Structure 1
Amino acid sequence: MPITAEKLNPIGGYFELQLPQGYEYYPDLVRLNTGRNALEYILRQKGYSKIYLPYFTCEVLLEPIKKLQIEYNFYIIDENLEPVLDFAIETTACLLYTNYFGIKQEAVNRLSFQIENLIVDNSQAFFCEPLAGVDTFYSCRKFFGVPDGAYLSIKRKLAKKFQVDVSYKRITHLTKSIDLGIEAAYLDSVKNNTVLENNEIKQMSLLTRKLLSAIKYDDCASIRERNFNFLHKTLREHNLLKFDFPSDAAPMVYPFLYDDKNLKLHLIQRKIFVATYWPNVYKWTTPAMYEYYLTSNLVALPIDHRYTLQDMFNMLNILKQLL
C-alpha cells in the first residue's frame, strides 16, 4: 500500500495529558464555546426582533440579547414550572423555555406544537434529545468537568466561520480540585465563570472536545437516574414541587422545594454544596411572585455521576435532621 504525503505531526517529545478515546454525545450538533453564545447564534441566524424569556432563568442569557439590542419581555411560570401564556407572541418574536432540571421534556414536547418560534434551553437537560426543527442549546459544564463548551441544534447554520476557542487557561479549577479538593478550587471556578462573560462566539475548543470524548455517557446518565429515583422515593411526600419524572431523563439535580428559606444554608454548613437558581431573580421579581419563592426555597440536591447510593443515603440522613 503506497504511503502518501500528509501534514506532518510531531513525533516524540513529552507525553500529553492522556484520556480515553471515545465519542461525543452530540457529534452532529454545532459545537460552540458557551450556552449564551449558542443563544446568540440562534438570534443572529433567525433575525428575531423580540424574545420572551422566563423570570426564572440565569441572567447570563441577557448578554447576547442586549448585545444584539433585541427587545425582551419576561413571562411568569406556574407551579408546574411551565409558561403562563397570557400574551400573544408576535410573528417576528420567539419564546425561550428552560427545560428545568431536566424534568420538563413533556412540557417541551407540548410547547413545540403551541409555539412556532420556540427556543429550548437544555442547559439543565443535557441528556434530553433535541426535537426536530426546534432550536435547542446545551451547556456542557453544567453536567461534566469541562472548562466550557456548548452544543446547538439548529436547522440552518450561519455562513460565518468562527474561530476555534482555546481553553487550557480555564482548566485550573478542574486540575486543582484533583490534588487539593473541590473546596480549594472553588475560587478558581468562580474566576472561570467570570472569564466566560461577554466572549465572542467561537467554536468549541479542541481541549473541551477531547475531554467530552472521554466521558462514559451511559454510565453518567444511569447513575443520575438511579440517584434521582433514590431521593425521590423518600422526599416526594415532603417536596412541594410536584412532577411526573420520566425514568430516562437523567436530570441535572433533584429539585426539592421546601418551605424553609434557610435550608440551603444549613446544608452548605454541613458541606452539602447546593446552588441557588438564580440569585438575579431577586432583582427581577417581587417577594409575592412564585419565581422569588422558588429562588429562595428550592434546594438543588446533587445527584450526579460522582456520587454513590451511600452518598445519597448520607445526604438524606442530614436532610431529615433539618426537616
Structure 2
Amino acid sequence: MKFGFGGYGELELPVRRNQLHDDAVALQSARAAFYLYLSSNKVRKIYIPEYLCTSLDSVFSTLNISIQKYTINSRFLPSKKIELMNDERLVIVNYFGLCDEGISKYLESYSDFSNVIIDNSQALFSPVIGGITTIYSPRKFLGIPDGGFLYSRDINDEPVEFFDSSRSSVHLLLRAAGEINKGYDEFLRAEAALENHEPRKMSKISRRIIDSIELKNVIDRRVNNFTKMHEHFSSINSLTFDLSSKTVPLCYPLKLNSSIDSIWKKLLTYDVYLPRYWEVEKSSSSYEYYDKTLFLPIDQRLDDQDVERLACLIIELINNE
C-alpha cells in the first residue's frame, strides 16, 4: 500500500468530485472527440455550417472526408433541412450555448438521429438530446489545460494513454498570478499542443482541476452576467434571446448595425480582450456575425461590478463612434 504522504507541497485545491459528463468518453480535446467518432464510422461527407472555425479541417482531411458547408439563419440554425445518406453526417453547432431550444425544434423534422452530431463545444452545460452523438469542450468554460467529452454509441476502442498536460498548464499559473501578458505565449503553446487530434484520455491534471471547481457558481454567475448584459444592450442588439430557457451561455453576443473593428481595437487599449468568431469570406451570409458582433465575456470571474464597468465602457465607445 502506498500513501503519498509528506514530500514537497502542492496546489491546495478542494475536492468536490464533480460529476461533469462522467458518462462521456473524456479526451484531450473536442477535436480528438470528432476524430475518434468519425474514424470509427465510414463517413464520406460531412455537412458543417459555413460560420465555423477551421480547427476541424485537419480532422476531415486526415480521414479523407469531403466537406459540404451550409448556411445558417438568424437563429444560428441550418436554414433548411438537410437530407442525409448513410455515409454522411450533419454537424449542428450550439452557438455560444444559446441554441438548445432551437436545435430541439429543428430536429423534430428528423425521424433518425444516427447521422447527426451536436457540437456543444460552446455549450458545456447543455444536455445530450435523445442519444445523439454530442461533443463538448470544457476548456472554453473552465480553466483547464485540455479536455473534450464525447457521447456516442458508435465508436471503436477508447484510448488508454493519458494526454500529458504538464507542459501545457503554465499559462493557467501565470494568469492566476496576474501575469496575463506573460501567460499568453504559453497559452498559444498549450493550444498548439492540442492540434494533434490523435485521441488521448483527458489529462489527470484537467480532471483534478474540474473536481475542485464549484460548478454551481460557474452556472449561476454566467447566467446572472448574461442577464445583466442583456439589460444594458437589448435595445441595440440585433440578436434576440430566450432568457426563460435554462441555457448557460459562453458569452454575450452583441450584434450592432455596423462594423465593430474600431471598438474592438479600442477595447484592447483597456486590456479588454474579445475573441472574433470567425473570419469567413466577405461574400458569405455569415460574414456579418464576424464583422458586426462583439462577443462580451460573462464568465465566472466577473462580478456585478465588473459587468457594469464593462457595459458602461462599451456604451461609451459605441456612442463615440
- TM-score of the aligned structures, taking structure 2 as reference length: 0.92
Match of 2:275 in 1: 275
Match of 2:183 in 1: 185
| Cα gap change, 1:143 to 1:72, in 2 (>3 Å) | same
CA distance in 1, matches of 2:3, 2:255: 54
Deviates more, 1:265-274 or 1:34-43: 265-274
Q: Which runs of 5+ in 1 are unaligned?
A: 1-6
SS in 2 for 1:80: coil
Match of 1:307 in 2: 302
| Cα gap change, 1:231 to 1:57, in 2 (>3 Å) | same
CA distance in 1, matches of 2:245, 2:300: 16
Match of 2:88 in 1: 93
| Cα gap change, 1:160 to 1:141, in 2 (>3 Å) | closer
CA offset digits 1:171-190 (Å, max 9, x no partner): 01000112243233112112
Match of 1:66 in 2: 61
CA distance in 2, matches of 1:38, 1:246: 31
Alignment of 1:178-217 (within 5 A): 178-217=176-215
Q: Would the aligned equivalents of 2:147 and 2:202 in 1 still touch at CA under 8 Å? A: yes
CA distance in 2, matches of 1:42, 1:315: 40
Q: Would the aligned equivalents of 2:77 and 2:103 in 1 still touch at CA under 8 Å? A: no
| Cα gap change, 1:19 to 1:11, in 2 (>3 Å) | same
Q: CA RMSD in A?
A: 1.7
CA distance in 1, matches of 2:106, 2:36: 21
Question: Does residue 292 of the first structure (1) align with residue 290 of the second (2)?
Answer: no
Amino acid of the structure 1 residue aligned with 2:260: K
CA offset digits 1:225-267 (Å, max 9, x no partner): 0000001012011001223234421100000011233222222
CA distance in 1, matches of 2:284, 2:209: 41
Q: Would the aligned equivalents of 1:124 and 1:142 in 2 still touch at CA under 8 Å? A: yes
Q: Would the aligned equivalents of 1:227 and 1:304 in 2 still touch at CA under 8 Å? A: yes
CA distance in 2, matches of 1:251, 1:319: 20
Q: Would the aligned equivalents of 1:126 and 1:138 in 2 still touch at CA under 8 Å? A: yes
Match of 2:106 in 1: 111
Q: Would the aligned equivalents of 2:59 and 2:197 in 1 still touch at CA under 8 Å? A: no
| Cα gap change, 1:247 to 1:266, in 2 (>3 Å) | farther
SS in 2 for 1:26: coil
Amino acid of the structure 2 residue aligned with 1:127: F
Match of 2:7 in 1: 13
Q: Would the aligned equivalents of 2:44 and 2:66 in 1 still touch at CA under 8 Å? A: yes
Count of residue correspondences: 312
Deviates more, 1:155-164 or 1:34-43: 155-164
Q: Which runs of 5+ in 2 are unaligned?
A: none
Q: Would the aligned equivalents of 1:119 and 1:136 in 2 still touch at CA under 8 Å? A: yes
Alignment of 1:27-106 (within 5 A): 27-85=22-80, 87-106=82-101
Deviates more, 1:104-113 or 1:208-217: 104-113
Deviates more, 1:111-120 or 1:26-35: 111-120
- Of 221, 226, 244 in structure 1, the residue corresponding to residue 219 of structure 2 is 221
Amino acid of the structure 2 residue aligned with 1:124: Q
CA offset digits 1:78-134 (Å, max 9, x no partner): 122111226532232111011000000012212333343110111111111111311
Question: Does residue 251 of the first structure (1) align with residue 249 of the second (2)?
Answer: yes
The offset of 1:202, in angstroms, is: 0.5
Identity score, percent? 28
Amino acid of the structure 2 residue aligned with 1:251: P
Q: Would the aligned equivalents of 1:274 and 1:301 in 2 still touch at CA under 8 Å? A: yes
SS in 2 for 1:120: strand
Q: Would the aligned equivalents of 1:24 and 1:209 in 2 still touch at CA under 8 Å? A: no
- TM-score of the aligned structures, taking structure 1 as reference length: 0.91
Match of 1:3 in 2: none
The offset of 1:196, in angstroms, is: 1.3
CA distance in 2, matches of 1:178, 1:160: 33
